[in-house]
Structure 1
Amino acid sequence: MKIYLLDKYLKKYTRMSERELTHTVKSNLWFTPVLYVFFSIILVTLSLNGDLNFELGDRMRPHFALDYELTLSLLSILTSATLTITIFTFNLVLVVFTTFSGQFSPRILKNFIASKATQRVLGIFTGSFIYVLLSLFFINERITEYYFAVPLTATFLAIFSMATFIFFINHAVAWLQVNQMTDDMKKEALGIVNGTLKNELDIYKVKDFNDANADIRDGKGIHIKAGSPGYIQLVDFISMIKEAQIDDITIKLEYTIGSYVFETTPLLTYWKNHEIAIVEDKYLAFFSVRKKQTEVQDIEFSINKLVEVAIRALGNYDPKTATTAIYQVGEILVSISQVTDFSNYLVDDENNLRLILQKRDFNHYLYNGLGYIRHYAKDNVIVSTEILKVLDLMAKSLHPRDYQSVWDFAIHTAIGFESLFLFEQDSQQFYLALFNLATTTDNLEDYEEFLKKI
């Protein structure tokens, strides 16, 4: 039974794409400590070989070598001390996890785990413990009476571990700061925008295909079912386009990255220009459908982490944190507007239509980014005013085609706030922010009409 479970566990990793495997390895807490354990085993082998075979201890007497009793005592103390500090560090990680889950969002815990600093700190502690433990196990008084390499290396690792522990305390405190945390999530989202929307898809996009086959316009085609339930984590668009070019077919994705599908859900539809049979399973291999969402290609999931931080902050009466998250979301939306033309048509290198994506325009991302926050801030005039200020700041950098989307969002945000202004200053700041946005997006006439209605 254990062998079967191990085989199933290993197969899960062998079936992953290189991109998915890299993300999984980086987001797991065990990978880096295991590497450090291997390094510590190599270090144990070298230091024991120096003391037992080359008798470095005898050569370094009397100033630098330690006798067997003192070496044994030193390793015993360091073994218990290193284990204690490792356990304390893991306990500190759990405290950070609990704080993040309760105050912000359980979905951002992976960001802390995937942090190189967190993984390296745990790797150093684990590797140091394994080193002193194995050294304690292999030292032998009958082979040599004096040791040099083993106690010297153990002492160095103890000092290094103490310095690492101080660094980790500082790292955890810095990560708990809202600005640092939200900035890391913003960088993660911007990486997805540049990696998926810009570098991976834009080179294949065209604005429109008016001469598309009539069967595609009529919605006719052959469906391929998902085959397994879960979230669509990854799609290998480039390989799919190349394979569709070989088979001379056109494919339409019925669902996009981040969508949940059932086993019998039609995942994609294809149209072929010949009667030759198509091997459908190879197209399912371009999809990664798993039990949970990930941030590898899912820009909306990455944005939603910042949205959850803002919503939790509103519930905890922390408007500053909410405002910080709103501005980070705004920066991501600006990047999306700048790097993509929102076309859902992808062609091959011969300019033949091969892939039709789900339609995603700027309105979609704007609503997913700020719509939920607007809903939970509907009774908070100050935070809603900040949303208008963010929209104005965004409009100064957005592609002009998205001005109307931002203005419409602002108008819907402003509707119904007249009765919530407790102070005259609230009304002034709110409508000043709306006026500035109208000026930026060239909607002053609509702004005047809106004021007349209210």
Structure 2
Amino acid sequence: MNLLDNYLKKYTKMSERELSHTVQSNMWFTPVLYVIFSSLLVSVTLTTDLKYDLGDQMRPFFAVDYDLTRNLVGTLTAAILTLTTFTFNLILVVFTTFSGQFSPRMLKNFIASKSTQRVLGIFTSSFIYMLLSFLFLNKRMAEYYFAVPLLAAIIAAFSMGTFIFFINHAVAWLQVNQMTYDMKREALSIVKNTLEDEVDPYKVNDLSTVNSDICENKGNSISAGKSGYIQLVDFISIIKEAEKDDIVIQLEYTIGSYVFASTPIITYWKNGENEVDEQKYMSLISIGRRQTEVQDIEFSINKLVEVAIRSLGNYDPKTATNAIYQLGEVLASISRNSIFSKYLVDKNNNLRVVLQERDFSHYLYNAFGYIRHYAKDNVIVCTEILKVLDLMAKSLNKRDYNAVWEFGVFTARGFEDLFLFTLDYQQFHIALQNLAVTTKHEKEFEKFMEKRKSEFNNLKNPDI
């Protein structure tokens, strides 16, 4: 009983977004709904046949006797169970290989998809319908059946159609392009929900309008209380509670950071002498054993990064390039729609929350820094990175031009003598030149090229 109570308390304490994500990520919720529906359907069909003796009334037109009904339902029960087991065993074997090749987190994405959960729900509910119907068949109460065998045949045909749909769905989802596209959509959704809708409305562009002098004083610290990853932060509730208590809160770590139980994760400053309920603020921060995608933009970006890196290790540059372009679209969305300020204010423009500072360079490095490192000997992939940077720059906020250009130069500096062909050299520097034109750094590009030529000549003539 205590275990059940703890289990229920766990879900009752979750926020709406966290509960929605948890339910979606679990395989049991949708099948349970389908099983409940199938149980109701069993009661309806059995009542129709047993109480109203519908089979005997329909005998001149259509009716199945007890023995045939029992054989039919019994055979379909075993058949649907076999079909369900075979299907998911096959898919799990395929995904074990696929996740090992690209990313182990892809299995969770597949399981969380609505199509997968609905298919599992249909298979499970079909088996439950057959099983309960078989269990409650009664020869004494009804010699002939109509509703039970008819619906059993329809459900069996529907399950076979679902099986074909599921195979098609799995094959389509396992395509790399579709997989990276789904990951990109997930990342864009997090950007919109977390940055644009939840946090950005409370950020300030003009820092001169915010009085942050109080943060220079010594504040009070609140420890995490338990170890784990910061999964969720209810920013809106924290701002409202801080306004009520007239305090300023600084979050010492970002979502996705790992903290120890003794780690101070909140520092706050009081404007008055009122007592502050520290536990209230800790209840607005969720700490768990693993990272989640609900608010963690970097974790969602890292999944695409992992696909790109694994693809490079498996000598699959096309998949790596596809992941790089999907990352570029996510970064462009962050640049266009986000306000890079660490100060959150209340409705009266009073400072309430101070975040850890994150600018576009931070997201850019997290997205392409690791890929650049693992592709250091692959001039073709690095050329694609420069092309993606140029494509991004055409739709970025102009304030981020310098960050993109500096990353492009950082990428280019890794290639001193790795160009095997003249065409490699030309394509690489054409991509860099296009990036310079887009970001308004033509002069810097000319200086960079002059420096490269000078260094190259010194390598050829070391005595000069």
Q: TM-score range with shorter-chain normalisation?
A: over 0.9
Match of 2:211 in 1: 212
Distance 1:99 1:117 in 2: 21
1:185 is the counterpart of 2:187: no
Distance 1:312 1:416 in 2: 21
Match of 1:90 in 2: 88
Letter in 2 for 1:212: N
Local SS of the residue matching 1:234: strand
Instruction: Measure how far apart 1:236 and its partner are.
Output: 0.4
Instruction: Measure how far apart 1:312 and its partner are.
Output: 0.3
Instruction: Measure how far apart 1:160 and its partner are.
Output: 0.2
Q: Is the 8 Å Cα contact of residues 436 and 445 (structure 2) preserved in structure 1? A: yes
Q: Is the 8 Å Cα contact of residues 376 and 414 (structure 2) preserved in structure 1? A: no
* Equivalent residues in 2 for 1:251-330, closer than 5 Å: 251-330=249-328
1:160 pairs, out of 154, 158, 180, with 158
Instruction: Measure how far apart 1:286 and its partner are.
Output: 0.7
* Equivalent residues in 2 for 1:417-428, closer than 5 Å: 417-428=415-426
Match of 2:388 in 1: 390
Match of 1:142 in 2: 140
Q: Give the fraction of aligned pairs with identical amino acids, expressed as a percent.
A: 69
Local SS of the residue matching 2:142: coil
Q: Is the 8 Å Cα contact of residues 55 and 64 (structure 2) preserved in structure 1? A: yes
* Equivalent residues in 2 for 1:411-422, closer than 5 Å: 411-422=409-420
Q: Is the 8 Å Cα contact of residues 72 and 149 (structure 2) preserved in structure 1? A: yes
1:172 is the counterpart of 2:170: yes
The TM-score with structure 2 as length reference comes to: 0.96
Local SS of the residue matching 1:346: strand
User: Which ranges of 4 or more aligned residues in structure 1 deviate by more than 6 Å?
Assistant: none
Q: Is the 8 Å Cα contact of residues 204 and 344 (structure 2) preserved in structure 1? A: yes
Match of 2:6 in 1: 8
Distance 1:81 1:225 in 2: 56
Task: Tell me: CA distance 1:429–1:189, structure 2 relative to 1, closer, same or farther (3 Å).
Answer: same
Task: Tell me: CA distance 1:398–1:213, structure 2 relative to 1, closer, same or farther (3 Å).
Answer: closer
Ranges in structure 1 where 5+ consecutive residues have no aligned partner: none
Match of 1:120 in 2: 118
Match of 1:102 in 2: 100
Q: Is the 8 Å Cα contact of residues 232 and 290 (structure 1) preserved in structure 2? A: yes
* Equivalent residues in 2 for 1:334-373, closer than 5 Å: 334-373=332-371
Kindly tell me the number of residue pairs found equivalent between the two proteins: 451
Q: Is the 8 Å Cα contact of residues 221 and 270 (structure 1) preserved in structure 2? A: yes
Match of 1:46 in 2: 44
Letter in 2 for 1:302: S
Instruction: Measure how far apart 1:228 and its partner are.
Output: 1.0
Letter in 1 for 2:411: T
Q: Is the 8 Å Cα contact of residues 208 and 345 (structure 1) preserved in structure 2? A: no
Q: Is the 8 Å Cα contact of residues 208 and 343 (structure 1) preserved in structure 2? A: no
Match of 2:245 in 1: 247
Instruction: Please give the per-residue CA displacement for 1:80-135, whole angstroms capped at 9, x wherever unaligned.
Output: 10010010122023123302321111122211011111000010000000000100
Q: Is the 8 Å Cα contact of residues 196 and 297 (structure 1) preserved in structure 2? A: yes
Q: Is the 8 Å Cα contact of residues 68 and 141 (structure 1) preserved in structure 2? A: yes
Instruction: Measure how far apart 1:291 and its partner are.
Output: 0.4
Letter in 2 for 1:214: D
Instruction: Measure how far apart 1:208 and its partner are.
Output: 4.3
1:404 pairs, out of 387, 402, 405, with 402
Ranges in structure 2 where 5+ consecutive residues have no aligned partner: 453-464
Instruction: Measure how far apart 1:30 and its partner are.
Output: 1.0
Local SS of the residue matching 1:420: coil
Instruction: Measure how far apart 1:213 and its partner are.
Output: 4.3
